[in-house]
Amino acid sequence: MRAIQGWAGIMAVVYATLAQGAAPAPAPKPDLERGKQVAATVCAACHGPDGNSPAPANPILAGQHADYLAAQLAAYKSGARANPIMAGMSAALTPEDMRNVAAWFAKQAPRPSAAKDKALALRGEQIWRGGIRQGNVPACAGCHGAAGAGIPSQYPRLAGQYADLTLAWLKAFANGGRANAMMGPIAAKMSEADMKAVAEYAAGLR
């Protein structure tokens, strides 16, 4: 009996060792200094050196989730997400560069913003928190959080994003210009007025 127990113990150690050997090595920590360099040379002209874009046509990247940003850069480079400008910007970036610059932007603080149209933002708040029942549109907060912070690697931060840009994204989801299995059906059920309201409310979130 003791021999069997001893053999079982030895085999348990062997299996544990094999399992550890088969496990993938953890990804190296992002090099923030390298990320800062990439941001300054590749991204700053459109998104600002710290990710606080100076133009409403370009998204604010400061405070965005690193995993989400890296995934988007990879999608631009592969062509999975079509954008001629970003395809060119991402073409020379290695996966390590993408992780580094994404981590750099994630560490930066987004500048405080505010909604410009109070009445529109109030309507947007209703949709954000409760959805649109008659249209079967779920609450935005379900995925992007009550404060618009999103969920790392799954759903992006939308708090403080330019309203015009969020509106453009929603329209693109609705008309198929930007493919997304989850957002496409949701945006397709929203009127342009609903989209504008949600975008205005998200712009004032912090």
Domains annotated on the chain, with CATH? 32-107 (1.10.760.10), 118-203 (1.10.760.10)
Mean pLDDT of the chain: 90
pLDDT tens column, 70-123: 999 999 999 999 999 999 999 999 999 999 999 999 999 999 989 999 999 999
What percentage of the chain has pLDDT greater than the value 70?
Answer: 87
The 3-class SS string of the chain reads CHHHHHHHHHHHHHHHHHHHHHCCCCCCCCCHHHHHHHHHHHHHHHHCCCCCCCCCCCCCCCCCCHHHHHHHHHHHHHCCCCCHHHHHHHCCCCHHHHHHHHHHHHHCCCCCCCCCCHHHHHHHHHHHHHCEHHHCECCCHHHHCCCCCCECCCECCCCCCCHHHHHHHHHHHHHCCCCCCCHHHHHHCCCHHHHHHHHHHHHCCC
Residue 127: predicted pLDDT: 98
Residue 69: predicted pLDDT: 97
Residue 153: predicted pLDDT: 84
pLDDT tier, 22 (very low <50, low <70, confident <90, very high otherwise)? low
pLDDT tier, 21 (very low <50, low <70, confident <90, very high otherwise)? low
- Position with higher pLDDT, 26 vs 171: 171
pTM of the predicted structure, to 2 decimals = 0.84
Q: Is the pLDDT of residue 5 over 90?
A: no
pLDDT tier, 3 (very low <50, low <70, confident <90, very high otherwise)? very low
Residue 58: predicted pLDDT: 97
Q: Averaged over 27-48, what is the pLDDT?
A: 95
Flag the least confident range among 17-21, 53-57, 59-63, 186-190: 17-21
Cα gap 11→7, rounded to integer Å: 6
Residue 133: predicted pLDDT: 94
pLDDT tier, 15 (very low <50, low <70, confident <90, very high otherwise)? very low
Flag the least confident range among 4-8, 38-42, 92-96, 154-158: 4-8
